[in-house]
Structure 1
Amino acid sequence: MTAPSTTISTMKWEKRVLLVSVPNANDPLLNDQRRIIARWRSGAEERDLAIVEIVGDKVIGAIDPAASLRRRYVLPRAGFTIVLIRKDGSAKLRGTRPISAAMLRTTIDAMRMRLSDRR
């Protein structure tokens, strides 16, 4: 995870962010997404992917306030929501179910900045 002294805004142009929002730490979809990322750790690192979780009112992986992130990325307090944020700060992919490593890899590898990263 990204150093806890960083905001999502300061990651702009350096990191892609996978933003995961859940109402509580017992959410089974959160645990599923964590398992996916744990198995895909080297692929995520290679693609400059930072993981930021909003669990209730707690933010893990950044120092932004949970309420601010929910407003900015239109995240409901209830249920599982996931957003893949490009290096330019815009949202690329959004869902209410965990995103597979294959989908993350395919989506990120097709991004213009990723193509230039590999040159």
Structure 2
Amino acid sequence: MSKTLLYGATKVDETNAAYAAVGSLEQFQWKNRVVVIFPDTDNARAARQENMLLADREGLSERDVVVLKVAEGSVRAIFGAAESLDAGVLEQELIGLSAGEFAAVLVGKDGTVKLNVREPVSSGELFAIIDAMPVRAAEAADAKDQS
């Protein structure tokens, strides 16, 4: 049974090793937040998720977000850049779903899972979760000090 906890505005799914860094995404640690989309059989929810996120490219860029899609045994960067990622390892580490089930997973800059959902999430909801993270608050404070 999966249980989702709410810490401040950050949802954490304890069944997916939420407190351990996601090794396969190590190249992004302390540089980027990563949203990984796993498509459903007909790709409807995945396409909706992609469209919602890509509608605010500026918001993604401002928050250092890379968006990846894992489909048909490969990983494709939808927004941002990524190198040499193994789709099978990502599936194992992040979701453990049956083939054809939709999931979207947010991994923070610290490399831990911050959100794991089975329905598309709006960019506003995603940004609210990111903006509530301590690392993001520090980034915002640094940007304010520099302006």
The answer, yes or no, to whether TM exceeds 0.5 is yes
Bigger radius of gyration, 1 or 2?
A: 2
Tell me how far apart the structure 1 counterparts of residues 135 and 76 of structure 2 sit (CA, whole Å).
26
Aligned pair partner of 1:64 in 69, 85, 88: 85
Tell me how far apart the structure 2 counterparts of residues 20 and 44 of structure 1 sit (CA, whole Å).
15
Unaligned runs of 5+ in 1: 1-6
In the TM superposition, what is the alpha-carbon distance from 1:78 to its structure 2 partner?
A: 2.5
Matched, 1:96 2:118: yes
- 1:42-53 matched pairs, under 5 angstroms: 42-53=58-69
TM-score by length of 1: 0.87
Matched, 1:54 2:76: no
Name the Cα RMSD after superposition: 1.4
Tell me how far apart the structure 1 counterparts of residues 36 and 105 of structure 2 sit (CA, whole Å).
5
TM-score by length of 2: 0.71
For the 8 Å contact 2:95–2:103, the answer to whether it is kept is no
The count of corresponding residues between Structure 1 and Structure 2 is: 112
Aligned pair partner of 1:27 in 31, 37, 43: 43
In the TM superposition, what is the alpha-carbon distance from 1:88 to its structure 2 partner?
A: 0.6
For the 8 Å contact 2:34–2:108, the answer to whether it is kept is yes
Tell me how far apart the structure 2 counterparts of residues 78 and 38 of structure 1 sit (CA, whole Å).
22
Matched, 1:82 2:104: yes
Unaligned runs of 5+ in 2: 1-23, 142-147
